[in-house]
Amino acid sequence: MRVFFDRELDTASTYWRVYRRDGVTLGFCSHDRPLVFGGLTHRAAPGILPAAVRVTTDLSDDSAGVEGALTHDSISEKDLAAGLFDDAAIEIGVVDWETREHYALYSGTIGRIEDDTRGFTAELRSAKAALDQDLVPRTSPTCRALFCGPGCGLSGHRFTSLVSVTEVNADLNQVQIDAIGAERLVDGQVRFLAGPQTGLAFGILSVSGSWLTLDRPIHPHLAPGVRAELREGCDHTLATCASRFDNAANFRGEPFLPGNDLLARYGQGSG
């Protein structure tokens, strides 16, 4: 295997690959010209560099970061705001730009992304980050289960419809969908099956007539007529679970558990 940085002058370049959830794969390198290896063209992007890579052999999370300028055609401010890079898988490594021998140093997913219109910084999470998740459920007055997910018991197919988007208002972050029971869509989600945001789930904040206000920016190139998967919403209260879904037996919450304010109450005397 190629040993990198074992000489005073090395033909090494940093590379990184981004695997977006919509199926798009992007490759970049810090070389001054594109490099083709591993079946992927890595475009020259010397303005985008890993800020730091830390890999350990223990169970602590491996940390890394990427920063750069919003100048490359493949990473635009609009795409970042539209969530196209949210939770994308990423691989960072080093490649010999003469022989194309390469070695991956880090793999994980993209976490928080910050930009100030001139550049961006992306926080990366390694696979070890899953070990930091708290698997012990905490008490809550509302249901902790994902609607139609594990613990809920309801069928997602029953509450999901295939629809077409009739109008798009990117400025107001709204889409129009006809012939749907609007009162059941609040707190639901819509997932576009085509277009620039294919596969991304959007939460529904409010409904006005047939217009749905979504919880994240809509890509300006989203066009009317695109097919979408629409799922009803649930406010995770016991009343809704019992009356609307007849599913109180699977409610994952403690609606009648006293809160912390019980400790601060004054005792009431009798007599």
At residue 242 the predicted structure's pLDDT band, cuts being 50, 70 and 90, is very high
Choose the most confident range, by mean pLDDT, from 2-6, 91-95, 127-131, 242-246: 242-246
CA distance 197 to 208: 23
What is the topology classification, in CATH, of domain 157-250?
Thrombin, subunit H (2.40.10)
Q: What is the pLDDT of residues 76-135, one digit of tens each?
A: 777 777 777 888 888 888 899 999 999 888 788 877 666 665 566 666 776 666 666 666
Q: What is the pLDDT of residues 121-153, one digit of tens each?
A: 666 776 666 666 666 677 888 999 999 988 899
Q: Does residue 29 carry a pLDDT above 90?
A: no
User: Which amino acid makes up residue 198?
Assistant: T
List 104's β-bridge partners, or say none: 93
Closest CA to 235 of 142, 157, 150: 142
Between these two residues, 244 and 73, which has the higher pLDDT value? 244
171: enclosing H helix or E strand: none
Please identify, in words, the CATH class of the domain defined by 12-129: mainly beta
* CA atoms lying within 13 Å on the CB side of residue 18: 23
33 C-beta neighbours (distance < 10 Å), count: 10
- Calculate the alpha carbon distances from 140 to 56, 225, 259 in Å: 36, 41, 9
Look at strands 189-192 and 201-208 and give their pairing: antiparallel
The residues spanned by each domain of the chain are: 12-129, 157-250
Closest CA to 149 of 227, 236, 230, 229: 236
Q: What pLDDT sits at residue 70?
A: 43
Cβ-contact 213, 176 below 8 angstroms? no
Q: What pLDDT sits at residue 264?
A: 58
Structure tokens at 251: 């409610």
Cβ-contact 140, 151 below 8 angstroms? no
Q: What is the pLDDT of residues 160-208, one digit of tens each?
A: 989 999 999 988 999 998 766 667 889 999 999 988 888 888 999 999 8
How long, in residues, is the chain? 271
CA distance 135 to 111: 20
Cβ-contact 77, 70 below 8 angstroms? yes
Between these two residues, 155 and 1, which has the higher pLDDT value? 155
Neighbour-count burial for 91-101, b at 16+ CB within 10 Å, e otherwise: bbbbbbbeeee
